[in-house]
Chains A and B, each alone.
Chain A
């Protein structure tokens, strides 16, 4: 793993811990390999948006968000609150990029997302459409 990926895992784990602390639920990593998948994009890429790095275009940003959502839901790396953790992580990312968003809408979308029928590209497309 790259140093960036290790940092991204720590930030995501912190986000999870923060959600659990707020909601008084079980914290912890259920599956470390699944968590590695969340921060490992094809071609040696990773979720640099979680590090606060400014991506040069929104397409790359939504591509990373789609990846984050899909592989967290698919692998369920956390002991609890996988969906709420994604929502909190995305809210930080969008705040960082100064992008207007409706967190309730994002929460509804992620809560009802059927990953048997939607892949990471579909999820990226949804964010791209809704946040433009």
Chain B
């Protein structure tokens, strides 16, 4: 996919087509990681990976995550 570098204020930018953002699951505000690979003359743009702190149990966080998905409608109905 070819994209032109465009002016964004005083910076340069590349617009990311929506099929790409959809495929990556990116929304406005999503954190990405930009890495310059000079040896191969390329730029890598990837999803910023958040590491779980060592002291936390990843299994517990997964369980919380599953419960959030299962009970989405109920959580949504709670007026905060």
Contacts and interface: CB of A to CB of B under 8 A. Distances in A.
Contacts of B55: 3, 7, 10
B74 A22 contact: no
Interface stretch (A33-41, A59-67, A77-85, A118-126): A77-85
Given A92-B67, A111-B79, A104 B72 contact: no
B61 interface: yes
**Interface range on chain A: under 10, 10 to 19, 20 to 34, or 35 or more?**
20 to 34
Interface of B: 53, 55-57, 60-61, 63-65, 67-69, 71-72, 74-80
Given A11-B56, A110-B78, A111-B78, A22 B61 contact: no
B50 to A, nearest CB: 10
Contacts of A15: 64, 68
B75 A22 contact: yes
A23 B61 contact: no
